[in-house]
Amino acid sequence: MTEPYLSQPIDETAAAKLREAGLRLSLVDTSDTAAYDAWLSADARGFHAKQPSAAALAQERELLAHRRLTAVHDDAIPASAGIVGTVSSWAAPLTVPGPRPLDAWLISSVTVSPTHRRRGIASALLPGQLRVAKDLGLAVAALTVSESTIYGRWGFGPSTFASSWSIAPRRAGWIGPKTTGRLSFTTPDEFRETSRELLVRQNEARAGEIRLTDYLAERQIAPLEGTTDAERYRLVRYDGPDGDPQGFITYVITGGESDFTDHTLDIVALVSTTPEANAALWRYVIEMDLVGKVRANTRGVDEPLPWLVKDLRQAQITGVQDHLWTRILDVPAALEARRYESSGSIVLDVEDSLGFTGGRFRLDVAADGSAQVRATEDAADVSMPISSLGSLYLGASAAPGLAASGRISGDVETVDRLFRTAVAPRLSSWF
Ligand SMILES: CC(=O)SCCNC(=O)CCNC(=O)[C@H](O)C(C)(C)COP(=O)(O)OP(=O)(O)OC[C@H]1O[C@@H](n2cnc3c(N)ncnc32)[C@H](O)[C@@H]1OP(=O)(O)O
């Protein structure tokens, strides 16, 4: 691995802050298996996950080798428990409105040991991560979160939302289009390469998606080592009438013990590159025999399913929640990297309490949707903290709510018209 972020030195400010607390910050040497395994075990412990087996550790070592792994050590306690904080990060393309994705700093595995929480370890790590990203020249950082109360303080704002579904398939009934392609069972080994290509194609077509690494793609295709119900995973592909692969579904069917006609089908991933593939794969699960309930999550907020069934109350959204959180580190670079669906001009006053990119900027959007952003001393039309700009950035309809809660003030209508996109952004995976 030669990515520059792997050799970028640790952030000295974070290291000094942790030193004052008697702790040591380091990058994990992933060629040292014992050190790598200790970090992976600390990460699992931090999320209350089971201790990874030897096979799971081996798989994670291989699939996570592209990540920059950071550890916080307490050298005063027994070495076996010595890693008390973890974070992993890497650079990858994030799709933004318009044709070109933007490289973003993706942050994951933020854990602090329950024995060391609420002493400022995360407060040292997160700004340190943002400084590393800024030093690498990245304009945006992003993460998916375990709790929505944590990351706003460091300038992240929720920028995509995801829906979860519970469907009573027999009562829902299918009225969607008849599709003319072919469904067939396949296996991860047979289909891995094609499914990875389909994931890339699906995700490139929508703002808010990231380029999945092998690890993240694998989780949508096959059970990782140690996954519950791994032997129940099924993989079905959908090929169009010409035999061209257009999508796939990974799912698990459980239950049925007390009533064999009442199994539950959980969708692990439903990946489609065409509306036909989306319809064909939904129809496949809605018409599955012996299934009384279908569940899905991390779907977009505009999932067309209710329009594809006879009784739309039988395809219920059980929740819509914040999913991707975005942190802008360079306002001009980030805003110029996306396209806009409406032309116009606005002066934004952006407050960044961590000092990465605050200031006053004029955003000029041309008729073709491209933008120019310059620092200005003109009067501001609209003011907001950097977290609000992160929420607007990918095109979500966030401006009215942010204004209602006092997190944007001024010409909210223009900011909404400029930033919002007709199609809501979506992130269809966790990372
Ligand atoms: C991108 C991801 O990886 S998301 C996953 C986040 N990790 C988890 O959920 C695993 C379980 N939780 C943890 O490991 C830890 O509690 C962490 C990482 C969330 C926080 O680590 P800590 O070192 O305890 O945080 P720290 O002491 O620096 O607190 C920072 C601030 O966040 C607040 N905070 C910390 N955890 C939480 C929380 N779970 N919910 C709300 N606020 C929190 C603290 O009160 C503090 O607030 P302040 O700035 O107003 O004083």
Q: Tokens representing 416?
A: 């909404």
Does 163-321 match 331-419 in CATH topology? no
Taking the CA atoms of residue 32, residue 37, residue 38 and residue 41 in that order, the dihedral angle to the nearest 10 degrees is: 170
The DSSP code for 152 is G
| Ligand 1 surroundings by CB, under 6 angstroms | 46-47, 107-112, 117-123, 143, 145-147, 149-150, 153
Minimum CA distance residue for ligand 1 atom 26: 120
Give dist(CA 157, CA 387) in Å, integer.
4
CA angle 404, 405, 407 (to 5 degrees): 105
CA distances, 63 to each of 60, 67, 213, 313 (Å): 5, 9, 8, 41
In CATH, what number does 163-321 get? 3.40.630.30
Give dist(CA 290, CA 256) in Å, integer.
8
> Is 431 one of the catalytic residues?
yes
How many angstroms does the Cα of residue 376 sit away from the middle of ligand 1?
A: 36
CA angle 236, 183, 200 (to 5 degrees): 55
Reading the chain (431 residues) residue by residue, the pLDDT tens digits are: 579 999 999 999 999 999 999 999 999 999 999 999 999 999 999 999 999 999 999 999 999 999 999 999 999 999 988 999 999 999 999 999 999 999 999 999 999 999 999 999 999 999 999 999 999 999 999 999 999 999 999 999 999 999 999 999 999 999 999 999 999 999 999 999 999 999 999 999 999 999 999 999 999 999 999 999 999 999 999 999 999 999 999 999 999 999 999 999 999 999 999 999 999 999 999 999 999 999 999 999 999 999 999 999 999 999 999 999 999 999 999 999 999 999 999 999 999 999 999 999 999 999 999 999 999 999 999 999 999 999 999 999 999 999 999 999 999 999 999 999 999 999 999 99
Q: What are phi and psi of 150, to 5 degrees?
A: -90, -45
Give dist(CA 242, CA 333) in Å, integer.
42
Superfamily for domain range 4-138: Gcn5-related N-acetyltransferase (GNAT) (3.40.630.30)
Minimum CA distance residue for ligand 1 atom 42: 150
Q: What residues does 413 pair with on adjacent strands?
A: none
Domain boundaries, the chain: 4-138, 163-321, 331-419
- Pocket probe for ligand 1: among 110, 115, 150, the residue whose CB has the most ligand atoms within 8 Å is 150
Sequence ranges of the binding site for acetyl-CoA: 110-112, 118-123, 146-147
Q: Tokens representing 63?
A: 């699939």
The half-sphere exposure of 234 on its side-chain side, counting CA atoms within 13 A, is: 14
Give me the residue label for tokens 């395809």. 315
Residue 27's CB is within 10 A of a number of other CB atoms, namely: 14
Topology of 331-419 in CATH? Nonspecific Lipid-transfer Protein; Chain A (3.30.1050)
List all residues 6 or more positions away from 347 whose beta carbon is below 8 Å from its beta carbon.
Answer: 360, 361, 362, 363, 376, 378, 379, 380, 381, 382
How many angstroms does the Cα of residue 113 sit away from the middle of ligand 1?
A: 11
Give dist(CA 338, CA 243) in Å, integer.
35
